Amino acid sequence: MSFHLRFIVMRSFNIANCSAAALAVATCLLGAAIRPAPAAADPKEVGVWYDDTGKGAVKIEICTPTTLCGKIYWLQEPMASDGQPKVDRYNPDASQRSRPICGLPVLGDLVQLSGGGFDNGWVYDPKEGKSYDVALDLINADTLKVTGYKGMRFLGKSFIWTRAPADLPSCAPDAAAAPGPVKKQAAGATTKKPNKTAAGAAKPAAATNVAAAPHKKKPAEKAVATQPQPQQAPVASN
C-alpha cells in the first residue's frame, strides 16, 4: 500500500472514531437532559403527631403544593359520656355541631418559610369552637413545636408534639367519612376569637385538604398585640 493510500485510510479511521465519540457524548448529554429529576422529599413535619396532652393525635399532610394541613387522626377517648362519638358541639356555627371530632380539620394554610418551619396557618380548637394563628417548628425528627398565637407570634404560647408510631390505628379509617373543612365564622358572630393555640400532644390526627379556618380573624385584628390565651389542645374535644 502506498504512503498516500495509507494516509487516506488512517485519516478515515480517525474521523470515524471522532464521530463515534462525539455521538456518544451527545447521547450522554441528551440522556442527562431527559432524565427526570428526583422527586422532592416531603417536609419532615408531615406525619402523625401526638398532641401535648397525649390524648389525641393529628395527621399532618400536604394539602396543596405549597401548604400543609391536618385532621384529627386518633383519640384516646373517641366516645362521649352518652356512648356516642364525640362531635364538634362548641362550633359557633350551629349547623356544624354534629360533625364528628374524629377526622375533624384542625390545621390549615401552613406555608413553609425560607428559613425553615411553617407559619401563617390556622389551628382550630374544638374544645371551645375557636381558631387561632399557628406556626410549626421541627425541633428534631420526632419533636414538633406548635405555637398558637393571635396576631403576633412572639406573644403566643408553644406546645410540644411528639411523633406517633407508624402503626397507630386511625379513629376514622374511612377517609370519605371524615367531616368536611371548618367553615369561617358567620359575619356578625359574637364569639370572641382567642389566640391560636398550638395543638396539644395528643395522638395522631389525620391531615388532609382543609379549607379556611373557622371564623378566622380579619386582617385588622392582626395588629392586636395582646397575648393570646390558648387552650390546652384542640385535638381532644368532648
The string of pLDDT tens digits covering residues 42-71 is 999 999 999 999 999 999 999 999 999 999
Same domain, 106 and 136: yes
Host domain of residue 192: 47-223
**What pLDDT, on the 0 to 100 scale, is given for residue 175?**
43
Whether residue 237 is contained in a domain is answered as: no
Tell me the C-alpha to C-alpha distance, in Å, between residue 53 and each of 78, 81, 149, 196, 229: 15, 19, 19, 17, 17
**Around 9, how many Cα atoms within 13 Å sit in the side-chain half-sphere?**
6
CA distance 234 to 56: 9
Q: Is 15 found in the same domain as 64?
A: no
In a domain, 123, yes or no: yes
**Alpha-carbon gap, residue 238 to 235, rounded angstroms:** 10
The pLDDT value given to residue 30? 53
Do 65 and 139 lie in one domain? The reply is yes
Residue 182 within any structural domain of the chain? yes
Angle value at C-alpha 8, between 7 and 13, nearest 5 degrees = 100
d(C-alpha 122, C-alpha 112), whole Å: 13
pLDDT tens for 185-232 read 433 344 344 344 444 434 443 333 333 344 444 444 444 344 444 444
Instruction: Look at residues 73, 72, 47 and name the one whose alpha carbon lies nearest to residue 60.
Output: 47
- The answer on 199 and 142 residing in a single domain is yes
Asked if 150 and 193 touch (Cβ cutoff 8 Å), the reply is: yes
Count structural domains, the chain.
2
The rounded radius of gyration (Å) of the Cα atoms in the chain is: 27
Please tell me the distance from the alpha carbon of residue 43 to that of residue 238, in angstroms, as a whole number.
31
pTM above 0.85, yes or no: no
| 3 and 107 in a common domain | no
Q: Do 103 and 10 share a structural domain? A: no
Do residues 11 and 87 share a domain? no
DSSP secondary structure code for residue 231 in this structure: -
Q: 7 and 80, same structural domain?
A: no
Asked if residue 116 and residue 5 are part of one domain, the reply reads: no
Question: What one-character DSSP code corresponds to residue 79?
Answer: B
Lowest mean pLDDT among 110-114, 131-135, 159-163, 215-219: 215-219
